Amino acid sequence: MIEHRLEITDLDRRIWEEELADFLPEQLYDAHVHVYDPTHCTSTTDDEPTEGVTWWERPVHLMDRTALDACYDTLYPGRRLNYLMMGWVYRRGDWDAANEFTAAQTADDPRSVAFMLTPAAFDARHVAETVDRLGFRGLKPYRWWADDENECRITDMLPEPLIEVANDRDLVVMMHLGKSRAIADEENLADLERLTRQYPRVKWILAHLARCLVAWPLEEAAPRLRDIPNIWFDFSSVTSTDVFMAALRNFPHDRIMYGSDFPVDLMKGQYIGWGKAWAHLTEDMIKQMGITHCDPRPTFIGYEMLRGARRAMLNLDLDRSTVEDIFYHNAVRLLGINH
Ligand SMILES: [Zn+2]
């Protein structure tokens, strides 16, 4: 069986050896990673017009625990790993089968945990029963399963009956925020203020540093967001040093966690910002640019993320134990793993 299709070039190897190998701690808790079996995807080309139905399969056809470990061995050799795993966010899928698959990947590892994919249409009793039966530690809603995939509010993705289930069971919610202004949106901030007050036992991970691939939304939101309780962040897919600087300057360092967002960060390219926008600059786009004045080859987004994190952490003189907390202990504490 093919575990992955990752190709390491001499450029990737140089970036790893010269910039990252000495920086990345030996023990990692990947607090945002996807596992999947493509047979659970029921999307058609009509459902996924922009990305294509199987773009997420490109680096790894089937992502189970073995494939995950193999990706780490290839990109980040010599590290010890535990994972916060969730299924992949297909536009349409067999969610129950995908959730069973995710739970099975953590079976041999008491330090790894699984989160349950929870489309907005899921019934609260079904969620509660599945969480109890399969031992999920958190919920993973997503904007593609809300009525308006771009301008959806938090409760459009995760309706309040499901938040109540999370509150009753002390679950963590992995929240990839919607809306074009992301965390700088007034409704997103107001919703987080209200929901954390009304459901005080829910802990929230705001994925991708509150979905800030560029710095301005986080800089704008920080004064209010700082005062909201029960908020953690993973920095998967964030590559901009400015965003890391904004996060590390504005929030307690024990609330910030490493995450890989595999399979996304196994792609090559970069996230770029302009105006009030941001986007994934893909390998194909870079090829079309026909650049000749320098080596135009992109590297893994995961490497670009670590470059951004490293520059910010060096600029801010973070001590080694804080760095190690961010890459491992903060997640262990949030998830209550004590063995
Ligand atoms: Zn993700």
307 Cα–ligand 1 center, Å: 19
User: pLDDT (tens digit, 9 = 90+) per residue, 273-312?
Assistant: 999 999 999 999 999 999 999 999 999 999 999 999 999 9
Burial of 142 (0-12, 13-18, 19+ CB in 10 A): buried
The whole-angstrom separation of Cα 106 and Cα 286 is: 37
User: pLDDT (tens digit, 9 = 90+) per residue, 241-266?
Assistant: 999 999 999 999 999 999 999 999 99
User: pLDDT (tens digit, 9 = 90+) per residue, 182-193?
Assistant: 999 999 999 999
237 Cα–ligand 1 center, Å: 8
264 Cα–ligand 1 center, Å: 7
Domains (range + CATH), the chain: 10-334 (3.20.20.140)
| Cβ atoms within 10 Å of 279's Cβ, excluding its own | 14
- What tokens were used for 320? 């080694």
294 Cα–ligand 1 center, Å: 32
CA distances to 73, 94, 116, 241, 306 from 209, in Å: 26, 29, 21, 12, 14
User: pLDDT (tens digit, 9 = 90+) per residue, 193-235?
Assistant: 999 999 999 999 999 999 999 999 999 999 999 999 999 999 9
- Tokens 């056809």 sit on residue: 61
Region label for 64, one of left (φ > 0), alpha (ψ between -120 and 50) or beta (otherwise): beta
The whole-angstrom separation of Cα 179 and Cα 101 is: 30
**Residue 49, pLDDT score:** 65
35 Cα–ligand 1 center, Å: 10
141 Cα–ligand 1 center, Å: 11
List beta partners, residue 81: 28
189 Cα–ligand 1 center, Å: 21
